[in-house]
Every structure is written in C-alpha cells, then in structure tokens.
Chain A
Amino acid sequence: MTDATATVMDTGAETAPKASDQRKLQYYTASQWQLVWWRFRRHKMAMVGAGILILFAVFGIFADFIAPYGPSTRDRSYLMGPPQIPMFWDRNGFSVQPFVHGIETTRDPVTLRAVATVDPNERRYVQFFTTGDKYKLFGLIESRIHLFGVDKGKIHLFGTDELGRDLFSRTLFATGTSLSIGVLGVLVAFVLALIVGGIAGYMGGWIDYAIQRVTEIVRVVPVIPLYMGLAAAFPREWSNIQVYFAMTMIFGLVGWPTLARRVRSHLLAQRGEDYVLAAELSGASAGRVITKHLLPSFTSYIIVDLVISFPYMILSETALSFIGLGLRPPSVSWGILLQDAQNIRAIEQAPWLFLPAAFVVLAVLAFTILGDGLRDAADPYSVKKS
C-alpha cells in the first residue's frame, strides 16, 4: 500500500488536485466493507469461484424447473445410456436448432438385455420451455414448464443410470440437497460457535477451560468415523426428511468446536486491545462491548472461516451417503449418485456415472478459492502475496 504512505502535504498550492488524489480520498473515506469488496474484486479466481457457487445455488433452488425430468422419472427405453450431446449437424445436414439422435431399444438376442442403439436418422430437436412432468416450485407454485426438453422422446445430457433415470436431472436435485446440508450444517455450527466461543473468549475462566477440553476431544477423534457412528444410530424407520435434518445437526454439533476455537482466539486477541479497555472504562456493558466493538472487529474473519468450513461439510455428506450411512434413496445427493459409481463394473461400463463427482470437485474448489480470496480481501493490512 504505497498510496497509504504517500504524502498528502503538497505545499505547491498551484498544482491542482490530481485524479490520483481523488482516488486516495475515496480510499481513505471508504467503509470497511467497501474496502473488502474492492480488494475482493481484484481477485479474479475468487470471483470465478463465487460465480460457480451462485450458479450451483441457482441449479439447486430451481432444480424442478431447470431439470427436464424429476429425480425418479425413468426412461425405460434408455437404460445405462451414455450422455447425449446436442449437436447442430450430422450426416443428414446442418440444423439451426440443436438436436440429439433418437433411440431405438432392442433386446440382445443372447443375453436378452435391453440395449439402446442410436438411430442416426431420427432427430429430436431441443426446445425451450417445454411441458413435462408436473412439479411444485418451492412447494408452492405448480407448473409443468421445464427450461428445456426435446420434441419427442427424452434427452439425457449426462446419460442415464441402470434404472433409466436422467443423470443430469438427478445431479441438479442432488446439488440442491448437498449444498443445503452444507449451509444448514454450517449455520448450526456457527450459531453454537458464536454463543459458546463468544462466552469462552470473553469470560475466560472455567467455561473457557471446559470448552477447550471439548474442542480437544473433537480434535483427536477422526471426524468421518465419528459422523458415521452418529449416523449409524439413525433409526431405520426415519423418513428421509428426518435423516436430512439429523445429518445437518450432527455436522453442526461436531463442527462447532473448531469454529468456536477460532471465535475464541479472535476474541482473546482483540480483548486485550486498548479500544476495548476504553469502551469498558466509559461504562459499556459486556454485551455492548461484544456486539458493538469486538464482533465487528472480526466479522470478516468469521465469514472467511465459515466459507472455509463449507467444503468439509459437503465432503462429509458425500462420504457418508456414499457408503450408505447418510441419506438414503430415493433422496438424491452427490454422495448417493456416486454410490452407483462405487463398483468397478459400473465405472467400466458407464463412466458417465462419475459426472456428479465433477460437481463435488467444482463446489469444493470454488469454496476454497472463494475463501482464499475473501481472506486476502478481509485483511485490511494484507499486502498482495504470491
């Protein structure tokens, strides 16, 4: 920040205020959040990460509308079918409207298995705002309109699974489930961490000691085996909704001590600062000191911590569902979709079942890069590193 040290004492009165001085003035008078935003904007990768996450969130929230089919809708004519990529031309010529080829299902005369073969002469044109399965957006708005579809038959951008379910649609629904578990888990952890960590950091003493011990224990027990142990206790007769919320609870319950530790150490570092003493000396109550002075001083750090803890939640959910201890079909989540890709036979015959993994990787990558960008932006003294 060379502009911060630059002199404003320009004794030469005849020199008119320069454009750079204007910029400096803007810089000096900007609020904390403006500064963070300016710095964040310069971080191109983090902006990309934020973009990916927003896109995923849109996918998840409007899955009913964007997905051409429901998560359990089966296409019996296309089992274990490879992805269909819309194209503009084939050997029959060029078309302005993208299309996919038709499918013909025949039985293999030897194994008697249904085999889908592509009919290169049939074109299925991609259309937008088509009418399809009925759904209720947010459980409220009833509709049959989907973002896209084909004029006849079905289109499977990511292919289908053994039951002929559209993998693209299922991935969109799974995105919603997996991200929302992450969000709720982080929220639960955050609220607990803020309360307990705040008390521990501000009060110190035995509360602090007790919380330190709990944190210590959670730190030594391997996390995923612990989650698995808690998830194993879910009664089999629980509905998927119950399992869903139970999972967010255990992520929150196991996740809070780490966050609380961060809150605590931020608080301890800030508590010794002179401005806190000044506030206390002028008669501010403990609550006021915490909410008006301490919290704003590290809100940005807390946000970074939250963003960074998302990937762990998402990966944990994926891992648990993957081994069959988390969500259970017919729910769809990234972990459940990847269950199908668990055995060698499946990956050999249908490698496209791996596609949901790309979503997991992208989401975690986006959260990590976003967290890094926010951390750099949130630190008012950060010098651009690396």
Chain B
Amino acid sequence: MLRFALHRLFGMAVTMFCVSIMVFTIMELPPGDYADRYAFRKFSGTGVNITESDIQNIRVQFGLDRPAPERYFDWVWRIVTDFDFGQSFAFETSVNDVVGERLWLTLAILYATLILTYLLAIPIAIYAAVRRHSAVDYGLTVVSYLGLALPNFLLALILLYISVSTFGSSVGGLFSPELEKAPWSWEKFVDLLQHLIVPAIVLAWSATALQLQTVRATMLDELNKLSVTAARARGLPEWKVLLKYPARLAVNPVVSTVGFDVNRIFSELPIVALVLSLPELGELLIQSYLDLDMYVAGAILMMLTFFIVVMNFVSDVALAYLDPRIKLEGG
C-alpha cells in the first residue's frame, strides 16, 4: 500500500510539473507583457509621458527582461519554497493577499457540493436500480438528462429569478451583508453554511446527474453477477445481499471519479460564482482574465489544478483500499 501511494505521489509531482509549464505558457500568451500593462494602468490619464525606456526600466525592475525559461523556474521556485505566487498588478499587492480567504471559501463550496452530490446520487441510484422501471427509476432518467442539458449557470439564473420574483431577495453571496466583514465566529460559520446551500445545489446539479447514471448502471451490472445469486443462495436476507455485494461495488466508480467531479465543479465554478456573486477563486479568475492580471490567473489555475490532482490521488488510494484487485496491478 505504501509503495502504491508513493508511486502515485511521484506521478502527481510529474503531472503538476507539466501543468505548471502549461499554466506559465497561458500566462505568457496575452499580447504585451506585465510591464506594458503596469505602465498603462499606473500612468494612463495622469498626464505623465511614458517612453519606451521607462517601460524597459519597469521590465528590468520586475526581472521581465530575462528569458522565459529563467522566469518560469523563478516562478515555480518561489511557489514551491515560499508559497509565493508573485504580484497582482490590478490590486497592486501580492497574489497571496488577493487570493487570501477566497481559497478557503472555494474549498468550502467544493466540499459542500461533493457531499451533496454523493448524498443524493448514491442512495437514489441504488434504489432506482433495485426497483427498476419504478417511478424513481424513470424520474432518475429525466433528472439526469436535464442535469446534462441545463447548464449550471442557467440553473443559477433561474434560481435567482425565482428568489427575486417570489421572495423578493437575492440568493447570491456567501455571507449576509452584516457579517461580510465581521471576524470569524460561530454565527458567521452558520451563516456561511446557509449561504452554501444554493451554490452547492447549482454546482451539484450536473455532477449528480452523471453520478446517478454511473451508479445506476454499475448497480444494474452488479445485480446480475453470479456472486449476488451465490449470496442469496447462502440465505442472506435480501437487503443485506444488496448492501454487502452490489451496492458496495457500485460505489467504486464514484470513488474513482472524485477527481473528475472536482474538475467538473471547478470548471463550472467561475461562471456560477459570477452569477451568484460568490467571493471565491472562480470569480476572481474571470476578473483577472478580463484584466489580464495573469499572475493572479496563473496562481488560481495552479491551485484549482492542484486540488484536482490531490483529489485524484485520494481517490486512487481509496479505491485501492476498497478494491483488493487493484493493489495487485498498481505495484
């Protein structure tokens, strides 16, 4: 098991290294560089005449005159050693300050969504597979199609519309206005949990739809296995047969796709966050892309990807623990 985990950890490091190259490339893609934008932002409209040599000075000052590979290694080195993601020019402070609390709020949204997804998808799908052709089963098919077809941000808009038109209040944000700036307290924590419900429903929407289908299909597959008949032939009560044999295996594909779900949630998060005005990383990501604040964007992209990679690792290890056949192959 330890060797298996180490093996996966190594793979994780390699993946992150490759991802960092890609992210850095994206950061370098927009036309013009940091110095251009810095100068434009700082001095445009102030009447100060900026010459090419001034920009060159800024460039030297930030070390932007060095070749890209050198800057790349510098960037990665600072992240790895000091957890320093560089400077945000739009906010004129360090990226870490800009990201700040948003990181934890993003994780809160992520875990709320994951928990909601699995709490809904696993039991309902198992029930639907066992009671095939029942109302629940047909309902599941309809819901999972809708879950795939109705994009999350549209669902968010619809929920907004409903809340505004019927309750007269917005469901956006993560905190009540009076607690927004307050220091952390139990009250604020409860407030956060309450505000997490709507984003979690919106983000869990399509993930749940997919998992419902996966779990139901696996469960149907497993129900027809001979080992289930063998367990029945041993005289095990039906509900124990279902829970111990097929249901236990129907959870495996869920565990193996946790990383995929996290990816999906993070993918949809920015737009949902924009609609629901959630103060987390996705919203900041869109803002930084629009401002071409590439160090912030790069940092967020790295963080999101890092969580996905970590969740992939967790899912690999959990799966190896759940399914004894895997240890044999993984080495």
A and B, direct touch (CB closer than 8 Å): yes
What is the interface of chain A, defined by CB distance below 8 A to chain B? 213, 216-217, 219-226, 228-233, 235, 311, 315, 318-319, 322-325, 338, 341-342, 344, 347-348, 351, 354, 357, 360-362, 364-365, 368-369, 385-386
Please give me the residue from chain B that is nearest to A320 by CB atom. Answer: B271
Complexed CA–CA distance, A120 and B305 (Å): 59
Residues of B within 8 A of A318 (CB): 151
Asked if B75 is at the interface (CB within 8 A of a chain A CB), the reply is no
Q: Cβ of B270 and Cβ of A323 under 8 Å apart? A: yes
- For B265-279 the 0/1 string (1 means CB < 8 A from A) is 011111100110000
Q: Cβ of A216 and Cβ of B15 under 8 Å apart? A: yes
Asked if B290 is at the interface (CB within 8 A of a chain A CB), the reply is yes
Identify which of B90-98, B159-167, B187-195 touches chain A.
B159-167
Q: Cβ of B164 and Cβ of A233 under 8 Å apart? A: no
Q: Cβ of A222 and Cβ of B18 under 8 Å apart? A: no
Q: Cβ of A224 and Cβ of B164 under 8 Å apart? A: no
Residues of A within 8 A of B149 (CB): 311, 361-362, 364-365, 368
- For B135-178 the 0/1 string (1 means CB < 8 A from A) is 00100010001101111011001101100110000100000000
Residues of A within 8 A of B267 (CB): 222-225
With contacts A217-B18, A217-B19, A224-B270 taken as known, whether A360 is within 8 angstroms of B154 at the C-beta atoms is: yes
Identify which of B25-33, B48-56, B228-236, B241-249 touches chain A.
B25-33
Asked if B304 is at the interface (CB within 8 A of a chain A CB), the reply is yes
With contacts A221-B301, A221-B305, A233-B29 taken as known, whether A325 is within 8 angstroms of B290 at the C-beta atoms is: yes
Residues of A within 8 A of B292 (CB): 232
Chain A min CB distance to B295 (Å): 13
Give the residues from 39 to 97 in chain B that come closer than 8 angstroms, CB to CB, to chain A. none
Please give me the residue from chain B that is nearest to A229 by CB atom. Answer: B26
B263 touches which of A220, A311, A357, A360 (Cβ 8 Å): A220
Chain B min CB distance to A369 (Å): 7
A-B contact count (CB 8 A): 139
Q: Pick 7 A–B contacts, CB within 8 A, sort by A.
A: A217-B22, A222-B266, A347-B164, A354-B157, A354-B158, A361-B149, A369-B145
Please give me the residue from chain A that is nearest to B150 by CB atom. Answer: A361
Q: Cβ of A230 and Cβ of B29 under 8 Å apart? A: yes
Residues of B within 8 A of A219 (CB): 260, 263
- For B254-268 the 0/1 string (1 means CB < 8 A from A) is 000001100110111
Residues of A within 8 A of B26 (CB): 226, 229-230, 233
Chain B min CB distance to A214 (Å): 8
Q: Cβ of A357 and Cβ of B297 under 8 Å apart? A: no
Complexed CA–CA distance, A232 and B32 (Å): 13
Asked if B289 is at the interface (CB within 8 A of a chain A CB), the reply is yes
Residues of B within 8 A of A348 (CB): 161, 164-165
Please give me the residue from chain A that is nearest to B268 by CB atom. Answer: A224
Extra inter-chain contacts (18) besides given A325-B289, A344-B170, A361-B150, CB under 8 Å: A213-B18, A216-B18, A217-B22, A221-B308, A224-B267, A224-B270, A225-B282, A232-B297, A233-B26, A311-B148, A341-B157, A344-B161, A344-B164, A348-B164, A360-B151, A364-B151, A386-B132, A386-B141
With contacts A216-B15, A357-B154, A386-B132 taken as known, whether A225 is within 8 angstroms of B29 at the C-beta atoms is: no
Asked if B315 is at the interface (CB within 8 A of a chain A CB), the reply is no
Residues of B within 8 A of A235 (CB): 31
Complexed CA–CA distance, A365 and B206 (Å): 13
With contacts A216-B15, A323-B286 taken as known, whether A344 is within 8 angstroms of B145 at the C-beta atoms is: no
Asked if B312 is at the interface (CB within 8 A of a chain A CB), the reply is yes
Chain B min CB distance to A101 (Å): 26
Chain A min CB distance to B150 (Å): 5
Residues of A within 8 A of B164 (CB): 344, 347-348
Q: Cβ of B15 and Cβ of A233 under 8 Å apart? A: no
Residues of A within 8 A of B154 (CB): 338, 357, 360-361
A228 touches which of B153, B275, B285 (Cβ 8 Å): B285
Residues of A within 8 A of B23 (CB): 221, 229
Asked if B204 is at the interface (CB within 8 A of a chain A CB), the reply is no
Complexed CA–CA distance, A248 and B290 (Å): 20
Residues of A within 8 A of B148 (CB): 311, 364-365, 368
Asked if B309 is at the interface (CB within 8 A of a chain A CB), the reply is yes
Residues of B within 8 A of A229 (CB): 23, 26, 29, 289, 297, 301
Q: Cβ of B270 and Cβ of A228 under 8 Å apart? A: yes
Residues of B within 8 A of A226 (CB): 26, 301
Chain B min CB distance to A116 (Å): 22
Q: Cβ of A222 and Cβ of B170 under 8 Å apart? A: no
B286 touches which of A223, A325, A368 (Cβ 8 Å): A325
Complexed CA–CA distance, A321 and B83 (Å): 33
- For B284-325 the 0/1 string (1 means CB < 8 A from A) is 011001101000010011001100110010000000000000
Residues of B within 8 A of A221 (CB): 19, 22-23, 263, 301, 304-305, 308
A222 touches which of B132, B141, B275, B308 (Cβ 8 Å): B308
